[in-house]
């Protein structure tokens, strides 16, 4: 693994701080990113034990985002149309944004974060509050094989590929399929979205890297959908090589050609990316300093794990940004890790209270701009670092 990016010393991105613990010393780890020239895989080099990240205090709830609710609903409609599935399993079912689109008898959730698993259990969905591994797959497949396994933004969090795909193989029915959805490495590199790298995101996948991994487990990609979620994601449809029921779609080679055309198989591409990241940091700091000099007020919008990477890498804290607005109930009243910026309950932006807004949740820009039409009309401005730092 060849290192190409150093994002400095970072706290756990989802370890939001209670007021009482604000003065306590935070645990931090070195966030460095590397590229494997053998299998084209991009990953963070220092991983954190899963128990520290995914537990009973996990703060992210996918149902609290309109964009994510719509994405899951649209996908569930397509699944019902295209695939005859009697039983579906979701790895990383969170608070049920995807599984609630199906009848309770037709779907199973797997969610190791106990606070989230409780939500779907209360709604009557069968949810295993365990980590996805072989022992859980054996438990589930004893009763019935699964026709579709779906996982969005979860498998990139699991270090052991062997465990993941052996468990998938054991659980899937003969013609069963695996649908994986994760941020696209191509979009990440194109947009200089270095905030896709944080403690949870062990991997950011490209098609060329995922294909090499799947090959070892006799699995292959037969279709890819490029989605706009999380700043650009790929939805991979995967089958066993022995499964002749599904033919390979043109989208697979199209994505491979695009990635190779951009150089995702070359280390030189990542070295160039690292230079752009450093430039992005310097430009963002210039913008923030200039605004602060003019005594204008900056707040943040979306206290995301992504924003945690940016703020800590760029050394931006509560002196520069007064507070963050967020809609996620578990985050409100707490403080962002590292930067220690207060998180307040979201309310509509008001030009009399705020001059500039830093887009922490830049991947929900369309949704945010729709909400804040009045603020924009009256001259309110946003700051973004994607694809390069600028004022909108």
CATH number for the domain that contains residue 344: 3.40.50.720
Q: What angle do CA 359, 361, 366 make, to 5 degrees?
A: 85
- Do both 250 and 308 map to the same domain? no
Given a contact cutoff of 8 angstroms between Cβ atoms, the answer to whether 24 and 197 are in contact is no
Given a contact cutoff of 8 angstroms between Cβ atoms, the answer to whether 382 and 391 are in contact is yes
- Do both 135 and 230 map to the same domain? yes
Which residue range forms the structural domain that includes residue 276?
A: 2-35+268-391
- Do both 116 and 240 map to the same domain? yes
Tell me the average pLDDT of the chain: 93
Given a contact cutoff of 8 angstroms between Cβ atoms, the answer to whether 119 and 109 are in contact is no
| Domain end marker among 223, 247, 264 | 264
Residue at token pair 């780890």: 29
- pLDDT, one tens digit per residue, over 215-261 is 999 999 999 999 988 889 999 999 999 999 899 999 999 999 999 99
CA distance 117 to 92: 9
**Neighbour order of strands in the sheet with 28-35:** 2-11, 28-35, 42-44, 203-204
- Note the pLDDT of residue 48: 73
- Do both 58 and 179 map to the same domain? yes
* Tally of structural domains, the chain: 2
Within the chain, strands assigned E span: 2-11, 28-35, 42-44, 88-91, 107-110, 126-128, 146-152, 172-183, 203-204, 219-227, 233-240, 298-301, 323-326, 342-345, 356-359, 381-384, 390-391
Given a contact cutoff of 8 angstroms between Cβ atoms, the answer to whether 322 and 299 are in contact is yes
- Do both 259 and 274 map to the same domain? no
Question: Splitting the chain (392 residues) into consecutive groups of 10 residues, what average pLDDT does each group show?
Answer: 96 90 91 96 85 67 83 93 92 94 94 92 94 92 91 85 90 94 96 92 94 95 93 95 93 98 98 98 98 95 95 97 92 96 96 96 91 95 97 95
| Domain end marker among 216, 231, 264 | 264
- Note the pLDDT of residue 281: 98
Label the pairing between strands 107-110 and 203-204: unpaired
């Amino acid at each position: 693994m060849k290192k190409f990016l150093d994002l400095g010393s970072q706290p756990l991105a989802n370890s939001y701080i209670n007021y009482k613990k604000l003065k306590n010393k935070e645990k931090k780890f070195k966030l460095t990113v590397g590229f494997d020239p053998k299998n084209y895989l991009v990953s963070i080099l220092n991983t954190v034990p899963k128990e520290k990240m995914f537990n009973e205090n996990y703060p992210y709830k996918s149902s609290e985002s309109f964009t994510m609710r719509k994405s899951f609903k649209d996908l569930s409609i397509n699944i019902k149309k295209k695939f005859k599935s009697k039983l579906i399993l979701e790895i990383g079912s969170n608070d049920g944004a995807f599984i609630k689109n199906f009848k309770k008898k037709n779907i199973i959730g797997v969610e190791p974060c106990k606070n989230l698993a409780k939500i779907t259990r209360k709604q009557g969905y069968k949810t295993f509050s365990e980590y996805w591994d072989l022992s859980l797959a054996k438990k589930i497949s004893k009763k019935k094989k699964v026709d579709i396994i779906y996982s969005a933004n979860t498998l990139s969090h699991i270090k052991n590929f062997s465990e993941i795909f052996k468990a998938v193989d054991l659980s899937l029915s003969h013609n069963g399929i695996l649908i994986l959805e994760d941020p696209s490495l191509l979009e990440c590199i194109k947009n200089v979205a270095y905030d896709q790298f944080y403690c949870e995101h062990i991997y950011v996948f490209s098609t060329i890297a995922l294909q090499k991994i799947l090959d070892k487990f006799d699995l292959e990609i037969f279709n890819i959908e490029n989605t706009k979620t999380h700043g650009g994601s790929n939805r991979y449809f995967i089958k066993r090589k022995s499964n002749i029921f599904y033919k390979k779609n043109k989208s697979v080679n199209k994505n491979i050609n695009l990635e190779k055309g951009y150089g995702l198989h070359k280390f030189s591409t990542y070295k160039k990316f690292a230079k752009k990241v450093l430039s992005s940091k310097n430009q963002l700091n210039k913008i923030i300093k200039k605004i602060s000099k003019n005594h204008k007020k900056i707040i943040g919008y979306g206290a995301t794990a992504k924003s945690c990477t940016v703020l800590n890498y760029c050394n931006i804290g509560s002196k520069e940004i007064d507070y963050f607005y967020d809609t996620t109930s578990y985050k409100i009243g707490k403080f962002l890790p590292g930067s220690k910026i207060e998180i307040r309950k979201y309310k509509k932006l008001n030009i009399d209270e705020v001059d500039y807004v830093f887009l922490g949740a830049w991947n929900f820009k369309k949704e945010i701009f729709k909400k804040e039409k009045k603020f924009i009309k009256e001259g309110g401005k946003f700051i973004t670092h994607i694809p390069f730092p600028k004022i909108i």
